[in-house]
């Protein structure tokens, strides 16, 4: 089939590469000429494992191409996917739909009769109806079908998520659109991936409800972790024990410094705004957003407490800056709260991240960025592991201990085991487990006492 993707950001480029891998002929259109030039020169301006190879293979196979020319890009399209950004609108947290609506206005006259326009961007409930209204105004009488097909990709494993999803959700309002979408996703259907057809509003709510539910799970286990610390239980065991109940499931129960990234913070806020407008109460989502905001600050208080109540003039070594591993994305990363809080308390921060440095340099002033984990910990009063990159899972612990001024290791991702770290000579503080190492040198985490 001939497909067009509008917008070559994260979701757009991953979708385009994967649809072409299915065998469809895909044209990507973007107004950013630099970005299109980069793709045409074989460069991938986004860090995502496996994406470069997938693009190159399909470009060589003549199934994937890039252009800034919208008219050319959509003229034969059977379906046009809109994958432009929907950032949080400044001030009110609503999703900003101006890019989506501008794209629809631009392409309405250019698409062929009978074309399917698919919202792949994360858009609030009712957006498909608004797109239909724009089409009725710009091209009255023309048959164009509007579909809502939300994306559930995780950064760092987006290709795998696209090619082997748990399910595909498609909101349609006509039988012909349903047929086109079934044909597009036929390769997945052959692999027995369930494809759930709904109406557009239901599909739109599914996307936000899924992200909100996952956020709730994380905020929940983070609070259970705090409880475990006070009562002397082990949150890893608790997560395992509850996760074995299939009604709960074992995923997204890793406690940490709070969720970040391009989706959960933005989408939970947008969902709250939608609920407000609809006069519906989403108290659990509101509590999740509040708990997650607090948590990031709480992590800085915890580091300060572990350092004996003050970090004034001390160097703190930070391992990991991105919101999670295998991405260079810094959006809403816990590091953006934890590091400024430590700096406010007088700490000097030295940091290392395998991929996040270019973005982090623009967002985190007065941090000394270094090029490996060992440089980050040299002469530091403590090391704080903030993002669980694989290369931090097998550090040379003797070397780390030897380089640190104090052997204080604060692991906000539970990468290591308390007994191993005590044996390696560290005062080790992690999440939801009792501190390990010589007790007198370890202050209780601030979470226990903070209001």
Binding interface with ligand UDX (CB under 6 A): 151-155, 211, 214, 218, 252-254, 256, 259-264, 323-324
Distance of closest approach, residue 108 Cβ to ligand UDX, in angstroms: 28
Question: By beta-carbon distance, which residue lies closest to ligand UDX?
Answer: 263
- Range 324-340 burial, b when 16+ CB lie within 10 A, else e: bbbbbbbbbbbbbbbbb
Which residues have C-beta within 8 Å of that of residue 62, sequence separation ≥ 6?
A: 25
Q: Is 18 an active-site residue? A: no
Annotated binding site: 30, 35, 86, 122, 152-155, 207, 252-256, 260, 266, 324, 331
Among candidates 128, 214, 117, which has minimal Cα distance to 166?
A: 214
d(CA 342, CA 181): 50
Catalogue the long-range contacts made by 37-46 (C-beta closer than 8 Å, 24 or more residues apart): 39/8, 39/13, 39/66, 40/66, 44/13, 46/9, 46/10, 46/13
What distance lies between CA 278 and its chain's CA centroid? 27
d(CA 72, CA 332): 37
Nearer to ligand UDX, 250 or 286 (CB): 250
Task: Tell me how far CA of residue 152 lies from CA of 13, 159, 161, 165, 220, in angstroms.
Answer: 14, 11, 7, 8, 21
Nearer to ligand UDX, 7 or 260 (CB): 260
Nearer to ligand UDX, 153 or 429 (CB): 153
Nearer to ligand UDX, 315 or 326 (CB): 326
The catalytic residue among 18, 115, 200, 263 is 263
Rounded to 5 degrees, φ, ψ at 278 are: -85, 0
Other C-beta atoms closer than 10 Å to the C-beta of 1 total 15
Nearer to ligand UDX, 260 or 356 (CB): 260
Rounded to 5 degrees, φ, ψ at 348 are: -95, 130
Active site members = 263
């Amino acid at each position: 089939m001939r497909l067009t993707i509008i917008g070559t950001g994260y979701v757009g480029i991953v979708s385009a590469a994967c649809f072409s891998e299915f065998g469809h002929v895909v044209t990507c259109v973007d107004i950013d000429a630099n970005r299109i030039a980069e793709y045409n020169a074989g460069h991938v301006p986004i860090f995502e494992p496996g994406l470069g190879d997938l693009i190159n293979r399909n470009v060589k196979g003549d199934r994937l191409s890039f252009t800034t020319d919208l008219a050319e890009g959509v003229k034969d399209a059977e379906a046009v996917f809109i994958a432009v950004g929907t950032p949080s609108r400044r001030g009110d947290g609503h999703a900003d739909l101006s890019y989506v609506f501008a794209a629809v206005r631009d392409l309405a006259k250019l698409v062929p009769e009978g074309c399917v326009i698919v919202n792949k961007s994360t858009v609030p409930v009712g957006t498909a109806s608004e797109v239909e209204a724009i089409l009725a105004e710009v091209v009255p009488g023309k048959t164009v079908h509007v579909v809502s097909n939300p994306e559930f990709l995780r950064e760092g494993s987006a290709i795998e998520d696209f090619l082997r999803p748990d399910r595909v959700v498609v909101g349609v309002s006509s039988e012909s659109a349903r047929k086109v979408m079934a044909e597009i996703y036929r390769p997945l259907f052959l692999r027995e991936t369930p494809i759930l057809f709904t109406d557009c509003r239901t599909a739109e709510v599914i996307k936000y409800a899924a992200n909100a539910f996952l956020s709730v799970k994380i905020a929940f286990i983070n609070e259970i972790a705090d409880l475990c610390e006070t009562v002397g239980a082990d949150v890893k065991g608790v997560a395992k024990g509850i996760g074995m109940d299939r009604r709960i499931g074992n995923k997204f129960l890793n406690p940490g410094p709070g969720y970040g990234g391009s989706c959960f913070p933005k989408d939970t806020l947008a969902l709250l705004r939608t609920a407000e407008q609809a006069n519906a109460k989403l108290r659990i989502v509101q509590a999740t957003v509040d708990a997650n905001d607090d948590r990031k600050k709480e992590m800085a208080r915890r580091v300060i407490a572990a350092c004996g109540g003050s970090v004034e003039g001390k160097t703190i070594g930070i391992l990991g800056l991105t919101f999670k591993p295998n991405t260079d994305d810094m959006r809403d990363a816990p590091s953006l709260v934890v590091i400024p809080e430590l700096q406010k308390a007088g700490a000097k921060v030295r940091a290392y991240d395998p991929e996040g440095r270019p973005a982090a340099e623009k967002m985190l002033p007065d941090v000394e960025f270094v090029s490996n984990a060992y440089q980050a910990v040299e002469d530091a009063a403590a090391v704080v592991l903030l993002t669980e990159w694989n290369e931090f899972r097998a550090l040379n612990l003797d070397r780390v201990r030897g380089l640190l001024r104090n052997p204080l290791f604060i692991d906000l991702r539970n990468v290591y085991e308390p007994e191993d770290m005590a044996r390696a000579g560290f005062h080790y503080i992690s999440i939801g487990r009792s501190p390990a190492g010589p007790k007198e040198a370890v202050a209780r985490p601030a979470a226990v006492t903070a209001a």
